[in-house]
Amino acid sequence: MSFPVGYSPERYWNELEIHDRDLDFIYNLLLEREVPLTTLEMSEAFIRYRLEKLEKEATEAEDTSIALYLPMETYSVGQKVLFPVFANKVGEVVGIRPGENPSLGTFDVIEVNF
Q: What is the per-residue pLDDT across 5-47, written as a single tens digit (0 to 9) for each?
A: 556 778 888 888 899 999 999 999 999 999 999 999 999 999 9
Verdict on whether the full-model pTM lies above 0.85: no
Structural domain boundaries in the chain: 9-63, 67-113
Q: Which residues in the chain belong to E strands, given as ranges?
A: 67-68, 80-83, 89-98, 108-113
Count of Cβ atoms closer than 10 Å to residue 22 Cβ = 15
Neighbours of 45 (CB within 10 A): 16
